[in-house]
Structure 1
Amino acid sequence: MDFQLTDDQRALRTGMRELLERRFPRTRLRAVVDGDAARGDGDTARGDGDTGRGGGLDRALWRELGAAGLFALRVPESAGGVGLGLPEVVLAFEEAGRALLPGPLVATELAAGLSGSLAAGAAQGETVVTALDESGAPVEHLASADVVLALLPTAVEVIPAEEVARSAEPMRSVDPATPLHRLAPSRTRPDQTDQTDGTGPADGTGPADRTDQADRTDQAGPGRSGLAARLRREAALLTAAQQLGSASRTVELAVDHAKHRTQFGRPIGAFQAVQHLCAQMLVRAESARSVVYAAAVTEDPGDIAAAKLLADEAAVHNARDCLQVHGGMGFTWEADVHLHLKRAWVRAGQWQSGAAAEEELAAGLVSTVETCL
């Protein structure tokens, strides 16, 4: 099996990087981070304006990403999409992770392939979608979202964000550009009495007017539970791609600093201890890259779990080592290194934690052994 990128895939990755360098440069990232930090907890009002920074979300940029096809890469051409596959989405999300692009990118991409009036506009970047996982994980960018993609045990639904917000409370986020909300512990679903069966009251105020039952071709298993499991796996893989982008970027930052920072009359990169740190960072990033790219092709649950596990480790450990290479300067607010570490911590807990990935891998090994016996 050949995992080398095609010319079209390289062009897609290059185009995405150039778009983000033009529309989300370092100055824009710092404006988002410094603005949210000044507000104290990273939680902001709904960002409805073109340059509104609700949780670091720029609606104009979001629409431009939609116009560039980021959220419609897997939507069929017959439906107005690009008609590509999961590997291409992984490449694009790797670049988003490299740039520390804020926003519920994963949820919006997943929702772009779902039918329903509430999810309409996700592919074009007109509708901002965040996600609610039945595992009880925090919801990101709820104040900026229009709708919430709820992955429930037996259903996949799209719910207005205002409805979810009624039972949510803000929580402190280690990442200043990723505001988080947590639902009340007893309520995984915002309104458990509302079931969408398309039979609301005649006055138009029933659940059918507020909640869309998601519809998407399900190849992962029977019923809605199979679709939810498939979407969770895809979300874990796209999150791993973002982690991979961050891990690769911290390698670049560390190497660049080691080349230009001098001590005792020569660049610190000339010292073996620094060289070893940078080499270990590169090995982590490239090892994660191989597994993430392979998982994008196979879409195997075990491969995706391995990809998430290795990408999380690469992003977190590379950011820590990058801090070490930068020395005391790396711990300052003005440096960008700490932003990669904080975002990596947040992503590591999203969709599939390290413990959950290890359980998935262990279950696969047990199944293989039982098959061989």
Structure 2
Amino acid sequence: MDFQPTEDQRDLRAGVRGLLEGRYGREALRAAVDAAAGTGTGTGAAVDRGLWRELGEAGFFALRLPESEGGVGLGLPEAVLVFEEAGRALVPGPLVATHLAAGVVPGAAAGTAVVTAFDLAGDLAGDLVAYLGEADAVLGAAVLPVGEPVRAADPLTPLHRVARPGGAEASASASRSASVSAYVSEGALLTAALQVGSALRTVELAVRYAGEREQFGQPIGAFQAVKHTCAQMLVRAEVARTAVYAAAVTGDPGEAAAAKLLADEAAVRNARDCLQVHGGMGFTWEADVHLHLKRAWVRAEQWRTAAEAEELLAAELLDSAG
């Protein structure tokens, strides 16, 4: 089976990259980071509604809606290419939830509504929800809940904790969970595509810095240890990208879970290796490397964690062995 992108798919990816480079390049990213830091709360910045509408107008959220419903009429293979580019640019906001809500929540497809989801691992105190303060709706929830702001590792991913209902409200919570569960496989795959984009971008950052930074009279990229690190980063990212593309073509939940596992590992480990290549410079606020690592940490907890993916894959292996 051939998983190579077609010419139309490559053109789609190039178009999205051009849009994001023009609308959300490094200057816009750093401005958003500085604005988040300037609040002094560490809870992140608001969603850029103008960018959100532009993404909607470009068909980002309505990509998989039928043309009869005002969508673009494409499929998962095209969606992962688009989300890969968004991950590369570190576009903030609940991109996956809003995309999944197209056709379900009014305004989601057009980008005039911001939709988040109960897609993060919670704790004993309640469920964590990203961008709740900026959202117009929560996927699978009848009403927009009220939450308490929580300090987040990623400055561009504000978090809120929503207390878990009990007693008479427990059935409503179970209904919400059942509604969201229908989107978990696709949500995990699209999040994996975001992770792949980030993993590939950190490869670029590491290689570029290795060619510029000199030590002992030559670029550090000439040293074997640095070469091996960059090569391992590329292999890790490409293996994850292949798994994501394959899962998008087959639509198999097990393959989507495996792709999420590989993509999470690629994004986190590549960001750490990129920090290693940068040395002390990589740990400074001015460098972009730490932003990729922090976002990768958050995404690794979204839609399907490593433990959940491993459980699903183990169950499939047991079923096939039986």
Normalised to the residue count of structure 1, the TM-score between the two structures is 0.81
Q: 1:358 aligned to 2:290? A: no
Distance 1:58 1:192 in 2: 34
> Paired residue for 1:292?
244
Give the 3 Å change call, closer, same or farther, for CA 188–96 of structure 1 in structure 2: farther
Matched position secondary structure for 1:130: strand
> Paired residue for 1:96?
86
Q: 1:172 aligned to 2:162? A: no
In the alignment, residue 181 of structure 1 is paired with which amino acid? H
Report Cα offsets for 1:165-185 as digits up to 9, x if no partner: 1xx21111100000001111x
> Paired residue for 1:51?
none
> Paired residue for 1:63?
53
> Paired residue for 2:21?
21
Distance 1:191 1:141 in 2: 23
Cα pair 2:24 2:89 within 8 Å, conserved: yes
Matched position secondary structure for 2:287: coil
Q: Identity rate of aligned residues, in percent? A: 65
Distance 1:236 1:257 in 2: 31
Cα pair 1:41 1:173 within 8 Å, conserved: no
Matched position secondary structure for 1:71: coil
> Paired residue for 1:127?
113
> Paired residue for 2:192?
240
**Larger relative contact order, structure 1 or 2 (CA cutoff 8 Å, min sep 6):** 2
Matched position secondary structure for 2:182: helix
User: Which structure has more helix as a fraction of its residues?
Assistant: 2
Distance 2:235 2:24 in 1: 28
> Paired residue for 2:4?
4
> Paired residue for 2:212?
260
Matched position secondary structure for 1:334: coil
Distance 1:182 1:283 in 2: 37
> Paired residue for 2:165?
187
> Paired residue for 2:277?
325
Give the 3 Å change call, closer, same or farther, for CA 191–120 of structure 1 in structure 2: farther
Report Cα offsets for 1:97-154 as digits up to 9, x if no partner: 000000000110010032xxxx11110000110112496451111111111112xxxx
Give the 3 Å change call, closer, same or farther, for CA 361–57 of structure 1 in structure 2: same
Cα pair 1:323 1:337 within 8 Å, conserved: yes
Cα pair 1:247 1:318 within 8 Å, conserved: yes
Give the 3 Å change call, closer, same or farther, for CA 135–332 of structure 1 in structure 2: closer
The 5 A counterparts of 1:273-288 are: 273-288=225-240
Give the 3 Å change call, closer, same or farther, for CA 72–338 of structure 1 in structure 2: same
Distance 1:273 1:149 in 2: 46
Q: 1:108 aligned to 2:98? A: yes
Q: 1:141 aligned to 2:127? A: no
Cα pair 1:243 1:312 within 8 Å, conserved: yes
Distance 2:150 2:180 in 1: 26
Distance 2:73 2:38 in 1: 42
Distance 1:290 1:325 in 2: 25
Give the 3 Å change call, closer, same or farther, for CA 320–295 of structure 1 in structure 2: same
Report Cα offsets for 1:13-40 as digits up to 9, x if no partner: 0000000000001111111111111212
Gaps of 5+ in 2: none
Cα pair 2:116 2:139 within 8 Å, conserved: yes
Aligned residues: 317
In the alignment, residue 252 of structure 1 is paired with which amino acid? E
Give the 3 Å change call, closer, same or farther, for CA 134–278 of structure 1 in structure 2: closer
Give the aligned CA root-mean-square deviation in angstroms: 2.1
Distance 2:243 2:120 in 1: 27
Distance 1:148 1:191 in 2: 17
Give the 3 Å change call, closer, same or farther, for CA 306–134 of structure 1 in structure 2: closer
Matched position secondary structure for 1:10: helix
Query: Which has the higher Rg, Structure 1 or Structure 2?
Result: 1
In the alignment, residue 157 of structure 2 is paired with which amino acid? T
The 5 A counterparts of 1:144-159 are: 144-150=134-140, 157-159=141-143
Give the 3 Å change call, closer, same or farther, for CA 24–286 of structure 1 in structure 2: same
